[in-house]
A and B are shown apart, each in its own frame.
Chain A
Amino acid sequence: MNNNVTGLDIDSSNINESVDSVINPDEKDSKQDNKKVITPGQLVIKRFLRNKLAIVGIFIILFMFMFSFAGPLFSSYGEYDIFFLDKNGVEFVNKEEIDFTQEGIALNLRANPSLNHFLGTDKDGRDVFTRLMYGGRISLIIGFIAIFIQLLIGVSLGGAAGYYGKFIDNLIMRIVDIFNSIPSIPIMLIISSAMLVLEIDQKNKIYILMLVIAFLGWAGIARLVRGQILGLREQEFMIATEATGIKTYKKIFKHLIPNVMPQLIVFATLGLGSVILLESALSFLGIGVPFPYASWGNMVNAVNDPIIMNQHLNIWLPPGLCILVTVMGFNFIGDGLRDAFDPKMKR
């Protein structure tokens, strides 16, 4: 946060080294002076690790992954298990056909937090804590897959536009403009009502949701890649590749894409946060992850019931906090990465 005396020493030597490594990137292995020479990559890692917020972000994301992927292994409850109370108030799970004619059996609805249910049960008698873990799984998986598809489409189309220029560039950029102007929530509403008509399986709805999020979000990445490649194309090393007669795909994937990598990594990390936010908003509106699957967004949806809002904070507050903390974790990391990759940042 603040520079003490020794910190200043390290800082100034850092600047020298970073200048060296910028001027002579290929001589990074040669020993100059007696100083320890740092590669640009090491410099980035060093800068990143010095950013406290980014470290906090890493821990948050690690924790969330453990919680949602390893957590359910330690829980004896399933995602859709519904809890009942018999007439003596003893709790049991509905595994087989239940005899409702038997007297005194009731659903264990909206139970308060207890040792059996750390966060109580929801409006259908399901364990909130267990659903929180499964909800995290879905949110994180959707986030990663959607971003991966976005990168795939965005990098190839943006790369092609930037590399070939002229007509192809114009054509691709107009497609980017079109996708940029399509609003995601209304489109998802149309698609979800279509899925209702088609009677699509609940599980498949999740895949479709992922694809829709991916297809509506790649435009930003394409624009970024194209802009970077347009600038890189003019540089000397690209003229050199021209002179040596390297194949086109090698030029693109070996010389251009690696140069866009830093921006892509930052964009993808920040994008993960916004995809999770979008997914949770869609699920909150009832057009995202469908029932009975848990997602943080559709768990917060319970807040629409005034009784739950006022008296059962244990049902809607934890999933909301999970969304906030996870998205914040990704944003902390993304922000730290951006600063670490930026050569102008002296730190």
Chain B
Amino acid sequence: MRQYIIKRLFISVFVLFGVSIILYGLIRLMPGDYISNTVAGNPSITEEMVVGLKKLYGLDVGIVEGYFKWLGKALTGDLGESFLYKAPVTQVIASKMWTSFSLSFMAFIIQLLIAIPMGIISATRQYSKTDYAVTIFSLIGISLPSFFFAAILQKTFAVDLQLFPISGMVTAREDYEGFRLMMDMAWHFVLPIVVLAFTSIGSWMRYTRTNMLEVLSSDYIRTARAKGLSEGTVIYKHAFRNTLIPVVTMIGGSIPSLFSGAIITEGIFAIDGLGYTAFHALKAGDIPFIMGFNLFLAFLTLMGTLISDILYAVVDPRVRLS
């Protein structure tokens, strides 16, 4: 087990290197002088910063040498300073990711609370009307573009019915504090959470249903039925628990991605999380932030796979890692 984890961590570091090479290459392969071009016309960037930036990315030296220079700094946690936010990239990411996390986490909980029971029910009543309804519902969720769904929600619930605020995180001009502030934020989070939850609830339902069906067709379920156990015991004690193995693995693997921020949803609802921040940085050509953010996302993806692989072995004793 320990050996496996060490091996996987080693691979993850290797993959991160690969990602950083590709990202660095992309920026280096930019035509002419990418940095001068993107910063031209941006009055808040001084000549000094341009020089500093070129130095950070080693643009004054060759591509290989430049990469290692940049890497050396990145390894010590110095990802440069964001133009747009006038602070170290790591600091900006660390301060914004918790907003994104709280938003995604609430959506995640709602998703699981609805998707797992629905998936189980639709699997136990395969090809019934309920199953069809759940299938159609989840496929609509999978197929719905988040920006379009967000626009519909804004139009109906914010503009027409005026139930929820159209965007933002707090009510302007009201200086709420403490509990009132929390309630105000929660109220602003409702629509974005609905968007995030609904657009990915479908895949969780399908995943639960597929796995439950797999379990239900296995031999030990037939044995349980042959013993004369009641259907409830068969399903909830034998089948459900085994279905949870892949589901728990998947849940664990999804947790890191909750920090990544949702660029589109946060952008539309003006939620000041990582996705929103990143989008503005990207539009403004904030190169240090782009690099840092991309590396952070790659890191989260790798953590996700690692956690789900390890959890798989922990939850299911039949799995042997090598």
Instruction: Point out the residues of chain B lying under 8 angstroms from A285, CB to CB.
Output: 263-264, 267, 279
A291 to B27, CA, bound (A): 25
B155 part of interface (Cβ distance < 8 Å) = yes
Residues of the B chain whose Cβ atoms lie less than 8 Å from the Cβ of A197? 30-32, 34, 37-38
Tell me if B254 is interfacial: C-beta within 8 Å of chain A.
no
Binds A, one of B146-154, B176-184, B236-244: B146-154
* Chain B positions 1-58 with a Cβ under 8 Å from a chain A Cβ: 11, 14-16, 18-19, 22-23, 26-27, 30-32, 34, 37-38
* Contact present for A194 and B30 (CB under 8 Å): yes
Q: Is the CB of B297 within 8 A of A183?
A: yes
CB contact between B22 and one of A178, A185, A193, A300 (< 8 Å): that residue: A178
Q: Quick one: given A2-B127, A178-B19, are A331 and B30 in contact (CB under 8 Å)?
A: no
A72 contacts the other chain (CB 8 A): no
Could you tell me which residues of chain A, from 264 to 296, have a CB within 8 Å of some CB in chain B? 273, 277, 280-281, 284-285
Name the one of B143, B217, B283 contacting A324, with C-beta atoms under 8 angstroms.
B143
Residue of B nearest to A280 (CB): B145
Residue of B nearest to A313 (CB): B155
The answer, yes or no, to whether A335 is at the interface (CB within 8 Å) is yes
The B-contacting residues of A in range 100-115, CB under 8 angstroms, are none
**Interface flag for A174 (CB, 8 Å):** yes
Chain B minimum-CB-distance residue to A330: B143
Whether B26 lies near A187 (C-beta < 8 A) is: yes
Flag whether A341 is at the interface (Cβ < 8 A): no
Q: How far is the CB of A33 from chain B (nearest CB, A)?
A: 27
Per the 8 Å Cβ criterion, residues 93-145 of B in contact with A are 127-129, 132, 135-136, 139-140, 142-145
A174 is contacted by which of B11, B214, B285 (Cβ under 8 Å)? B11
In the complex, what residue of chain B is closest to A57 when comparing beta carbons?
Answer: B139
Which chain B residues border A187 with CB–CB below 8 Å?
A: 26, 294
CB proximity of A40 to chain B, nearest CB, Å: 19
Q: Is B282 an interface residue (CB 8 A)?
A: yes
- Across the interface, do B145 and A281 meet the contact criterion of CB distance under 8 Å? yes
Alpha-carbon gap, A132 to B19, bound state (A):
38
Are the CB atoms of A53 and B135 closer together than 8 Å?
yes
Give complex CA distance A247, B14 in Å. Answer: 35
State A36–B106 Cα separation when bound (angstroms).
Answer: 55
**Binary CB contact string for chain A from 175 to 190 against chain B (1 if under 8 A, 0 otherwise):** 1011011110111011
Please pick, from A186, A310, A320, the residue contacting B294 in the complex, using a CB distance under 8 A. A186
A192 to B246, CA, bound (A): 38
Asked if A174 and B15 sit within 8 Å, CB to CB, the answer is yes
- Across the interface, do B19 and A181 meet the contact criterion of CB distance under 8 Å? yes
- Knowing A174-B14, A181-B302, A190-B290, say if A347 contacts B127 (CB, 8 Å): yes
**Complex formed: what's the CA distance from A181 to B18 in Å?**
10
Q: Answer yes or no: A309 CB below 8 A from chain B CBs.
A: yes
A83 within 8 Å of B by Cβ? no
> Which of A53, A181, A273 interacts with B132 by CB under 8 Å?
A53
Cβ contact of B139, chosen from A175, A310, A316, A332, cutoff 8 A: A332
**Pair A300/B147 contact, Cβ less than 8 Å:** yes
Q: How far is the CA of A318 from the CA of B30 in the complex (A)?
A: 38
A328-B154 in contact (CB<8A): no
B290 touches A186 (CB 8 A): yes
Q: Which residues of A contact B27 (CB under 8 A)?
A: 190
Closest residue of A by beta carbon distance from B297? A183
- In the assembled complex, B255 has its CB within 8 A of some CB on chain A: no
- Does B90 sit within 8 A of A, measured CB to CB? no
Residue of A nearest to B140 (CB): A328
**A148 CB, min distance to chain B CBs, angstroms:** 21
A309 B159 Cβ-Cβ under 8 A: yes
A193–B38 touching, CB < 8 Å: yes
Judge whether A303 is part of the interface by a CB distance below 8 angstroms: yes
In whole angstroms, how far apart are the Cα atoms of A1 and B125 in the complex? 11
Q: What residues of chain A lie closer than 8 Å to B31, measured between beta carbons?
A: 194, 197-198
A309 and B155: CB pair below 8 A? yes
Q: Give 17 A-B pairs besides A53-B135, A174-B15, A309-B159 with Cβ atoms closer than 8 angstroms.
A: A174-B18, A181-B19, A181-B298, A181-B301, A183-B301, A187-B294, A189-B283, A189-B290, A194-B31, A284-B264, A285-B263, A300-B145, A310-B159, A324-B140, A324-B148, A331-B139, A332-B139
* 30 sampled A-B residue pairs with Cβ under 8 A: A1-B127, A1-B129, A1-B132, A2-B127, A53-B132, A174-B18, A177-B11, A177-B18, A181-B15, A181-B302, A182-B22, A186-B278, A190-B27, A191-B26, A193-B285, A194-B30, A194-B31, A198-B31, A273-B142, A273-B143, A277-B143, A285-B267, A297-B145, A303-B151, A309-B154, A328-B143, A331-B139, A332-B139, A344-B214, A347-B127
- Chain A residues packing against B (C-beta within 8 Å): 1-2, 53, 174-175, 177-178, 180-183, 185-187, 189-191, 193-194, 197-198, 273, 277, 280-281, 284-285, 297, 300, 303, 309-310, 313, 316-317, 320, 323-324, 327-328, 331-332, 335, 344, 347
